[in-house]
Structure 1
Amino acid sequence: FDYCCVHAAMALREAGYQTIMVNCNPETVSTDVDTSDRLYFEPVTLEDVLTIAKLEEPLGVVVQYGGQTPLKLAKKLADLGVPILGTSPEAIDEAEDRKRFQALVQALNLHQPANGIVRHLDEALEVAQKIGYPLVVRPSYVLGGRGMEIAYSEEDLTHYLTHNLDTANSSPILLDKFLNDATEVDIDAVCDGQDVMIGGIMEHIEQAGVHSGDSACTLPPFRLSVVVQQDLIEQLRQMALKLNVVGLVNAQFAIQADDIYVLEVNPRASRTVPFVSKATGLELAKIAMRCKLGISLKAQGLSQHYPMPAFYSVKLPVFPFIKFAGVDSILGPEMKSTGEVMGIDNNFEIAYAKSQIAASMNLPMNGNAFVSVKNKDKE
């Protein structure tokens, strides 16, 4: 998000606009004094942003580059007269609210895992009985998979909802049927309201169920067929245009056999934008910012489809477990990584090995390896 905010400021400056940055995190480049014309070192809350907006009277405010915190403010800011650039608060809510997004997917005749929308425990237990376990529990309006969990039994689901209903912030919770042996895919793209430019398709190396921020991924994909990739692009295009996205959009899919399931769409900057930009040479954050200013993709001289690089780029997460003794290191739908590294090579295996070395995960060249397989996988 820091990368995207900096590049947005650069794009605005290049277009002749002055920029104002609101950020209270000192460990960021976006709070450097020369990144923007003005810097407010304030918390990103409704009260603080409103005060700044009244003082500065900006032409527009960008909420889609700073993660979930500013995104949650979009509708309230718009209702109070603050102009929001790019994707409208209404479109943001349609994508982020689980019930509304489910209706959108169904209207486009796309597929989601068997699921149900719930708001309280009794309703959740009833829906879970119909869908079957295991389930992925997905609250609305969350970042980093916060509050997401896999429930393997009624006991797990009851325990989760008893302790975590506050995470949903009165918004609906989605119960998804967990897809075993599925491959997860991320796509980053830019939409100007008329056309959609695909930035990159990333195939996750871990199976679905691990948060995208904790999963290694490769660009371009190394196992997905061309037909599946074209289907993914078309599904993302339909959803981005239906949502009237103007700016960055990220979509996550699960592929089981050759069936494609939509997991979620985020009409905002994702944590993979810097990775995709470096791997492809496309400055996605800048391109999207120009779209928010009304400069179409065609006017920027950009086509809808760019050929994927002739080499492999592998993103690998970095975890803080060595610094925090006793922390649960088992990965799941809630994000635990604190950084990432990148390996590049013409050969996928070597690119992956380079990413391992960059993350200080050097494998020994000799000795014994212990391999454990659970009973279900032995079948």
Structure 2
Amino acid sequence: IANSFLEGKEAAQKIGFPLVIRPSYTLGGSGGGFVHKKEEFDAALSRGLQASPTHEVLVEKAVIGWKEFELELLRDNRDNVIIICSIENFDPMGIHTGDSITVAPAMTLSDRAYQEMRNQAIKMMRAIGNFAGGCNVQFSVNPANDDIIAIEINPRVSRSSALASKATGYPIAKIAAKLAIGFNLDELQNQITKTTSAYFEPTLDYVIVKIPRWNFDKFKGANKELGLQMKSVGEVMGIGRSFIEALQKACQSLEIGRAGLGADGRQSRNLDEIMHSLEHPSWDRLFHVYDALSLGVPIESVRKVTKIDRWFLNQIQEVVNLEVELRRYSLNNIPKDFFYTLKQKGFSDAQIAYVLQHV
């Protein structure tokens, strides 16, 4: 923690580059950012100190490319703690969580890593004071060796709490408010079953995908590259029995003229433009991941550039493969079972019609 320009310089010398500057008491990452080399540090530090109302910044090591996870917790006055939901960021560290595509429950988290995160989150929640209510803890995982570090804790109902509530049906804000005025989890009614208490951890047999919604058209000249400062103005949520179904439904809900992740005639064929978007993430990087895979770019090449987990890329590759297979048929001979498979994977009628019309 640095409260002056000199303290910030001393911290940078100890940590080394690249590093991250995060102003205290700001929302949406305002005033923060990455510093990749020494020449950029002075301006970034001054900007961060000015953005903080307490003239305080956190100077820390950059973990760009690591996987990011969140846990949503509730604690009552008897020190009972439950985990409401795990959330995984599709995008790696380096993009503000408000600008990241997120998935609930976490898709690529091992049980060992989940239990370790759970234990750490509960210890952190108990260590910050004797309070009852909601809490959000964010973790980063090194994909090379599964090292886990805690990167942020919000002892309050947050933006992620709203997503977790919608994903699970558990009314986090309502329960947190009642806990804050003295109730305990076993004294409150389960809003879903109406017969048991709120002292339970929801289990999901479906997948939720949140995609942020940007509106750069209204902000002429704005830098569209995503980073530590949040730029989205809203979000959509898709629900499905699988990740890819939920992802396609979320894409269809963005109101940007897309019929889904692909197969709608709006794919880019400019490989240079696509690869630039993958390396310098912007609002449409998800669609460019699809475009790259549909043009034959290997999954490993996309992973190296984007640092997106291979599991997610394999899922998107499956959609590409289904589109290729769909092109073998016409409206008159498409097999019934294959049509059902397309619908199970979230393909809209508009996507299927477009592909069949352009065979």
Instruction: Give the superposition deviation at 1:163.
Output: 3.3
| 1:272 corresponds to 2:157 | no
Gaps of 5+ in 1: 1-116
Residue 61 of structure 1: aligned partner: none
Q: Which of 247, 253, 273 in structure 2 is aligned with 1:358?
A: 253
Q: Which of 18, 21, 39 in structure 2 is aligned with 1:137?
A: 21
Instruction: Give the superposition deviation at 1:222.
Output: 0.9
Residue 263 of structure 1: aligned partner: 151
Question: What is the letter of the counterpart of residue 44 of structure 2?
Answer: Y
Q: Distance in 2 between matches of 1:279 and 1:189?
A: 14
Q: Distance in 1 between matches of 2:31 and 2:47?
A: 10
Q: How does 1:1-379 map to 2 (within 5 A)?
A: 117-193=1-77, 194-243=79-128, 244-257=130-143, 258-300=146-188, 301-303=197-199, 305-307=201-203, 309-361=204-256, 362=258, 363-365=261-263, 366=265, 368-370=269-271, 371-372=274-275, 377=304
Question: What is the letter of the counterpart of residue 247 of structure 1?
Answer: G
Q: Distance in 1 between matches of 2:91 and 2:206?
A: 21
Question: What is the letter of the counterpart of residue 226 of structure 2?
Answer: L
Instruction: Give the superposition deviation at 1:372.
Output: 1.4
Q: Distance in 2 between matches of 1:162 and 1:140?
A: 13
Greater relative contact order (CA < 8 Å, ≥ 6 in sequence): 1
Q: Distance in 2 between matches of 1:351 and 1:337?
A: 20
Return structure 1 stretches of 4+ with deviation > 4 angstroms. 373-378
Q: Distance in 2 between matches of 1:137 and 1:313?
A: 31
User: What are the Cα deviations for residues 243-264 of structure 1, in whole angstroms up to 9, with x where unaligned?
Assistant: 2231111111111131111111
Instruction: Give the superposition deviation at 1:180.
Output: 2.9
In 2, are the aligned partners of 1:187 and 1:250 still within 8 Å (CA)? yes
In 1, are the aligned partners of 2:64 and 2:93 still within 8 Å (CA)? yes
Q: In terms of Rg, which structure is larger?
A: 2
**TM-score, L = length of structure 2:** 0.68
In 1, are the aligned partners of 2:25 and 2:54 still within 8 Å (CA)? no
RMSD, matched Cα: 2.2
In 1, are the aligned partners of 2:5 and 2:46 still within 8 Å (CA)? yes
**TM-score, L = length of structure 1:** 0.65
Instruction: Give the superposition deviation at 1:171.
Output: 4.9
Aligned length: 262
In 1, are the aligned partners of 2:48 and 2:57 still within 8 Å (CA)? no
Question: What is the letter of the counterpart of residue 17 of structure 2?
Answer: Y
Question: What is the letter of the counterpart of residue 358 of structure 1?
Answer: S
SS of residue in 2 equivalent to 1:184: strand
Q: Distance in 2 between matches of 1:149 and 1:170?
A: 18
Gaps of 5+ in 2: 189-196, 280-300, 306-359
User: What are the Cα deviations for residues 149-195 of structure 1, in whole angstroms up to 9, with x where unaligned?
Assistant: 11111222201123341222235321111113201112222111401
